Amino acid sequence: MHQLTEALQQWWLALTWPEIVAVITGSACVYLAAINNIWNWPIAIISTVISVYVMAKTGFYADMLQYCYLTVINVYGWVIWTKRKGDDKRPIVRISRKQIIWSIVAVVMISPILGFTLIKFSAALKYNPPAYPYLDSFCTVVSLAAQVLMARKVLENWLIWVFVDIVYVGIYGTKGVLAFAFMFFIYTIVAAWGYVDWHRIYLKQAKRA
C-alpha cells in the first residue's frame, strides 16, 4: 500500500500544470454532463483547448487534432443545450434507428480515411507518427459521434462513452501519457453513472408526458 501511495505521489508531482488543469476540467465537465448541467460545455471547451496544447507539446498530433474537433463540437453542444423547448430544458431522448445507422456509417467510412491521412501527413510534415493511427482514428470518430449525440441529449451517448473511454485508458497508458489514462479511467466511471442518472431522468419525463 505504501509503495502504491508513493508511486501515485511521484506520478502527481511529475505532471505539468496544463496536464493537471486538463484532468480537473475534463473530469468536471463529464460530471456536470452526467447531472445534466449545461455548464459542462464551457468547462469542456476549456479542457479540450488545454488538451490541444498538451498533445502538441508531447508530439501526439493525431490526438491534438481530435481535441480540436471536440472543441468545435463542444461549442455546438453549448448552443444546442441553450435552446429551450417550451418552458423546460431540452429533454433527454432515446437513440433513433437513423442515428444508429449514420453513426455506424461515419465510423466505418471515416476511420480508415482519417488513419491513412494521419500516416501520410506525419510523413509529409515530418512530425511524430501516431502510435496507433487507425485505432486513434476509430476512437476519434466514435468520440465525435458520442459528443454529437450528447449535444442532442440522446441517452445512449453514455454507453458509447463507456466503451471508448475504456479503449482510451489503454491507448494513453501505452503511450505513457498517464495523466490522460487516469482521466479516462475517471471518465469511464462517470459515464456509467451518467447513463444511470440520465435514464432515471428519462423515465421521469415519460411519466410526465
pLDDT in tens, 2-59: 554 655 566 566 677 888 888 889 889 888 988 888 899 999 999 999 989 888 877 7
What's the alpha-carbon Rg for the chain, to the nearest Å? 18
Query: Residue 60, SS3?
Result: coil
Which pLDDT value is given to residue 197? 92
Ordered by start, the domain boundaries in the chain are 16-83+93-208
pTM as predicted: 0.79
The dihedral formed by the CA atoms of 57, 63, 65 and 70, expressed in degrees to the nearest 10: -120
Which of 153, 143, 155, 159 is closest to 192 using CA atoms? Answer: 159
Distance of alpha carbon 147 from alpha carbon 37, whole angstroms: 15
Which pLDDT value is given to residue 57? 79
Beta-bridge partner residues of 93 = 154
Which pLDDT value is given to residue 106? 93
Tens-digit pLDDT profile for residues 102-159 = 999 999 999 999 888 877 776 666 666 667 888 888 998 998 899 889 988 999 999 9
Which of 55, 25, 53, 56 is closest to 40 using CA atoms? Answer: 25
Decide: 162 and 209 in contact? Cβ < 8 Å: no
Decide: 149 and 175 in contact? Cβ < 8 Å: no
Length in residues, the chain: 209
Tens-digit pLDDT profile for residues 183-207 = 889 889 989 999 999 999 999 888 8
Which pLDDT value is given to residue 47? 92
DSSP 64: H
pLDDT at 208 over 80: no
